[in-house]
Structure 1
Amino acid sequence: MQIPLFLLHTVLIPGAHLPLKVFETRYLDMVSQCLKNNTPFGVCLIRSGQEVGSAGEPWPVGTLATIEQWDMPKPGVLHIEVVGTERFSIVDQDKHGELITATVEIWPADPELEIPARYAGLVEFLRAVLKDREDVDEANLENAGWVSWRLAALLPVSNEIRQQWLMLRDPVMRLGEILEELTRLADERR
């Protein structure tokens, strides 16, 4: 699959929403094409370089982004909201001016695995955080992949840590990494 890449200093987690302000010509053109053709684009964390100006170097794993809403408050500026869908690996990439396109391999969705008892505290933590949300299906709180992605999106961690979680294919292993990081964060606050 060939897709354009939007390089950012953020990691898009599958299932998470991300608002973006688009003003660079390369990305305005890209978003216009994606809207016109109803196609996704890839969001990748920048490994080196900047968001604005010449294209940076992406991490090798990113997330497909589907545009859910858009608005043009003034000429030359688009506000879009995207949702992360599948993860992908970059197989090959090309530069077209300042826009990077990539041939990507789409990863399968996380397997639906039950959450081991040792991670029950993570489920209770997430349940407490989401308690006022009406759109949370209780059954999702039994799915290791869903819980790990929600926690990965919510926790105040560095982009590098979030990227490492994105690159893990096993949702139970991801829960283990998240628990380690939460424990480390709690220890720092003592």
Structure 2
Amino acid sequence: MRSWWWVKEKKKQMALLLIIATMILQFQMKGCVGCVESERMGLLQLKSYLSSLPGFGEGSILNSWSDDDPKSDCCNWGGVKCSDAIGGHIVDLSLNYLTYSWSFDQAWGLNLSLLHSFPQLKTFDFSDNWFTHLFDPIHALKDMPKLQELDLSGNEFTDLDSLGYSKLCGLRNLPRAGFKEECFDKYA
């Protein structure tokens, strides 16, 4: 009878040990959720492009985007927010006020195709950067079905028709916030 009691106690101890080990593993795994590597590389490509423009990016949040440490978690980089619920995918990029100087003779173009590295992106704030044109038609953002908020205000995009605003205005998942009202006045 005594040996039966001993077996029951050992089973309880083993069950408790298993529960504790499972909790520790879950805690460690939760702590290991970082950005998706392909999205980390996409951020570094975006940084490389933006940093190549004169007067752009120095002293900005882009300095926190480092490729020195391959294990660096881009979810902790400036202007980047990720969602643990979807495995560390980037859901928000806030890249406003990156320029430290601007003159009328500069003409910077935004390469929207660099955003395609972020399939779960919901919010993109690129306001107040003084960009003058886009390399891709803006309606190419329709290929990003999760995108809900886009703020390009404070840039110097001049020709709305060539930017494709007429096609973008028809997208249901993009709010008016951040778009120039001409878009809605002209195409409403």
TM-score (norm 2): 0.25
More relative contact order in 1 or in 2 (CA 8 Å, sep 6+)? Answer: 1
Of Structure 1 and Structure 2, the greater strand share is in 1
Of Structure 1 and Structure 2, the greater helix share is in 2
TM-score (norm 1): 0.25
**Larger-Rg structure:** 2
